[in-house]
Structure 1
């Protein structure tokens, strides 16, 4: 018998992956706009995570690709073929849901083989394929168990094996880990990534968990109000956000009030004059010499020094292991988050007066918002 996952023809077909394109997708539900002209291309064999706040359109985009939603306008293409009007059952897309959606009256092997049976594949062949897929997801010993006899993580592995059984052109994952506890989520996300890379299957993964998106994806597509804000590799998204929304939504970001420097292209912040990273709208404010702006900084970039004459004060501290996260209130009432080595945190107790300092490198600048500070994670 030829192994489903080592057959040369299968590997050649799956590892090239499929190209997925969203072209100008629009979808509204009454007065609510879920997709507002979405343009996105997923390259063959790539894993792209759709990330954003609730209601941003990420699940609608995935369901439109699956065929469960029809766009009001725009197109969905797979390998250049317009599938916008193709019914869901003819799109050859494997989908894994948050709720597992296993048949409770079927064993694990029969759940995996269900799609093969509906496709008219003979019993011996479909059971052989299902057995190979159970081996692939590390659950061959669970073949005869029913869903209620398995843990949530095991059920999700079975759902993943079922989605792969028909050798789909694309794999769609709709928050598949959100119902699991933290340790199982960590293990299973590593397993999903390993399988996706092994098979080379083009994958779209919807999640609200930033850590999942940044750790698993080749690229992360950040959405807001039905629009694509930025799609980039995780490191680029974190270090070089294209918009203020991305900067503040991905990770933790604080705002520190600053003023345009004496020379174009610099800002005066925390007692230093620093060059400006020109990716955000506030860079134009600095270049135009308009004065008040906000500098956006990550917690690891903020240096905190005890200073009895300092105008800022520590108002909170959270132990994170090797680092301790401090909340520092500025003189104007805004707050800044700073990560410091835990072994030095004892010299920076809550209530201490401190001075903040930023490293000597270009900073992100945005238009002044309200009374200075605040951060989002």
Structure 2
């Protein structure tokens, strides 16, 4: 039995009044000697799903909690539709929040959990049960209304938590790693459901995650954070294809660092070729460090590397990981550098470990970073 949910009837879906614009302006927050946010500037457009992505401790959850009203900045502002809500209590902010732990009331049924916020707002019994029933249908659990949390699977409990967050028809939905406690199959199904609901309701949504696959598959834009600062905010394809910094390039997707020489003219000599350095290259260098340039690393995605059998080649295949239609081949250069390449499995089959090969890169700009220590 899976947690796959059929699409609900369209007339069951409560409608929001439209998503809100959310702005973080120069937010700073420290906890003792630890800087959680270091001048965060970020705008979320109405109806957009924006993922805050980054490693543990990067500040993404702190930013979300500031929007919810659970944390307050040392300086800076949080605005919703142009209104400064920095000092507004959490219960007066038009936001619904779903946590990593489902946080359901164990003594209440699913329908009563969903209706809880409506009861606190003095909505009549009949109306709140009607709206709670609509929301349970929206999340695919109409037959589970009378079940208690211990009678529900993890995915079902998280759906109830999502319905509860939507019950008050918030203009902003906040999701704090809501899928991390679920197994892989349920997590995949539920992230698809969250995205479907978000699009259907048109609600502005911030989604905190450290899982790049979740962020790239769900979000309109992804904001990558590191040590309290925003590294880059862009659509998933742009983030992957044109990372603004070395951190983004290596945190999102897989890269190999290949030694190269950055010349004064902005070209990089790598694997026997001269290629232009990407505009705004990762460490901000364009060969302006004196006559003769300097040694750098070139960051290369595995799908950009071409591997050819070559009896005279000075690189060797050292490993191959079968991934279905694609096989990820690891090739070792003479200096000991390992380069990953994604090849069609039919091509990789004739390149067993130990096979001599040659490598090449496409004729396009490459991202350059400071040489790794």
Gaps in structure 2 of 5+ consecutive residues: 1-10
Structure 2 residue 281 is matched with structure 1 residue 273: no
Name the CA shift for 1:226/1:283 in 2 (closer, same or farther; >3 Å): closer
Which residue matches 2:3? none
Q: What's 2:13 paired with?
A: 5
Contact 1:285–1:291 at 8 Å: present in 2 too?
A: no
Shift of 1:316: 1.8
Tell me the equivalent position of 2:199: 197
Asked if the contact 2:296/2:371 (under 8 Å) is kept, the reply is yes
Alignment-derived partner of residue 4 in structure 2: none
TM-score by length of 1: 0.92
**1:225-304 equivalence runs, <5 A:** 225-260=227-262, 264-281=265-282, 284-286=285-287, 289-304=292-307
SS at the partner of 1:277? Answer: coil
Q: Distance in 2 between matches of 1:282 and 1:165?
A: 46
Matched residue of 1:286: which SS? coil
- 2:210 equivalent among 200, 208, 211: 208
- Call closer, same or farther: CA 1:221–1:293 in 2, change over 3 Å: same
Cα distance in 2 between the residues matched to 1:88 and 1:229: 28
User: Alignment partner for residue 318 of structure 1, among 307, 317, 321?
Assistant: 321
Question: CA contact under 8 A between 1:241 and 1:279: conserved in structure 2?
Answer: no
Q: Which residue of 2 aligns with 1:374?
A: none
Work out the number of aligned pairs and report it: 362
Which one is further off, 306-315 or 207-216? 306-315
CA RMSD of aligned residues (A): 1.7
- TM-score scaled by length of structure 2: 0.93
Is 2:153 the partner of 1:151? yes
Q: d(CA) in 1 for partners of 2:59 and 2:340?
A: 30
Q: Secondary structure at the match of 2:122?
A: coil
User: How many Å separate the matches in 2 of 1:111 and 1:316?
Assistant: 52
User: Which residue is 1:134 aligned to?
Assistant: 136
1:270-298 CA distance string (max 9 Å, x none): 12222222121456343654132221110
2:82 corresponds to which residue? 80
Query: Which runs of structure 2 are paired with 1:37-76 in the superposition (5 Å)?
Result: 37-76=39-78
Moved over 6 A (4+): none
In structure 1, stretches of 5+ residues that fail to align are 371-377
Q: CA deviation at 1:4?
A: 6.8
Q: SS of the counterpart of 2:178?
A: coil
In structure 2, distance between residues paired with 1:83 and 1:99: 26
Equivalence for 1:364: 367
| Distance of 2:12 and 2:185 partners within structure 1 | 30
